[in-house]
Amino acid sequence: MNSAEIERLLHAATARISAASAAPLSPAQIAALIDHTLLKPDASRDEITKLCHEAAKYGFASVCVNPWYVALAAELLRGTRVKVCTVVGFPLGATLPQVKVFEAEVAIKLGAREIDMVQNIGALKSGDDTAVEADIRGVASAAHRGGAICKVILETALLSTDEKIRACLAAQRAGADFVKTSTGFGPAGATAEDVALMRAVVGDQMGVKAAGGIRALDDLRKMVHAGATRIGASAGVKILEQASGGSAGSASSSSAAPGNY
């Protein structure tokens, strides 16, 4: 990636963030953007059950749960429009490509329709973009064979601008459906700047998912304005209450730090 091209992409990203806001979103539109997420390792069956009931009630795009809970979520959401999303190679992205493929295949058999995989960050850092792309292609192909989509988590907080761009390009070449900012377990979550950069790189033929630290309606609006077409959040119910005027204002969370477990 030469520096003139990096400059051009950063300029496009900045221009997007500075542009006038789009029309406001209705509560139903907001709900349809949200992957209602609970990935902490100590989540119990009761918590996952509650998550699924909330997703059905509010009309979220999906529930995003760890593989162990895919079968439970699929059973609870049968007959609704809410999809089951799960995670692969999560949250480090440092397992073997064939393990990520197998994990995706098994999760799809159990009912997952969206696969959020973590890219191989170490390979990217080592300059092995071929390995990064092959790793993504394996999971994206498995997802598509099973009628699912594939989102690629970059973990932007660990990456340089050049690495963010190269990871987006690898995901695009590998046939993924979305690029996604963060796991929610890294040192920081989504930023509007990263979302806008990712959108500038992938154009309008891929989705961009912002995740990590999105705790309030204003956070969500900023991400959508920057180019996000999906939002990962554990605070979806609170965000919707704000959108419906059911809660005090739309105070943004002061920090975009990710959820800890």
Active-site residue set:
116, 180, 209
Among residues 132, 232, 135, 143, the alpha carbon closest in space to that of 181 is found at: 232
**Other CB atoms within 10 A of residue 89 CB:** 24
- Classify residue 41 as exposed, middle or buried by CB count within 10 Å of its CB (0-12, 13-18, 19+): exposed
Q: Angle between the 3-18 and 192-202 helix axes, to the nearest 10 degrees?
A: 120
Query: Is 158 one of the binding residues for a second copy (CB under 8 A)?
Result: yes
User: Candidates 104-112, 167-175, 227-235, 247-255 — which segment interacts with a second copy by CB under 8 A?
Assistant: 104-112
Q: Which residue in 111, 186, 207, 259 binds a second copy (CB under 8 A)?
A: 186
Contact criterion met (CB below 8 Å) for 96 and 135: no
CA pair distance 209, 13, nearest whole angstrom = 15
User: Candidates 67-75, 139-147, 197-205, 237-245 — which segment interacts with a second copy by CB under 8 A?
Assistant: 67-75
Q: Which residue in 50, 68, 169, 247 binds a second copy (CB under 8 A)?
A: 68
Query: Is 130 one of the binding residues for a second copy (CB under 8 A)?
Result: no
Tell me the per-residue interface mask from 12 to 51 with a second copy, x by CB under 8 A, - otherwise. Answer: ---------------------------x-xxxxxx-----
User: Candidates 3-11, 124-132, 204-212, 215-223 — which segment interacts with a second copy by CB under 8 A?
Assistant: 124-132
Query: Is 103 one of the binding residues for a second copy (CB under 8 A)?
Result: yes
CA pair distance 163, 179, nearest whole angstrom = 13
Pairing of strands 62-65, 83-88: parallel
Which of 37/120 has CB closer to a second copy? 120
Among residues 159, 147, 151, 216, the alpha carbon closest in space to that of 193 is found at: 159
Contact criterion met (CB below 8 Å) for 117 and 152: yes
Query: Is 126 one of the binding residues for a second copy (CB under 8 A)?
Result: yes
Query: Is 53 one of the binding residues for a second copy (CB under 8 A)?
Result: no
Q: Which residues bind a second copy (CB under 8 A)?
A: 39, 41-46, 66-70, 90-96, 98-99, 102-103, 106-107, 110, 118, 120-123, 125-126, 128, 155, 158, 185-187, 260-261
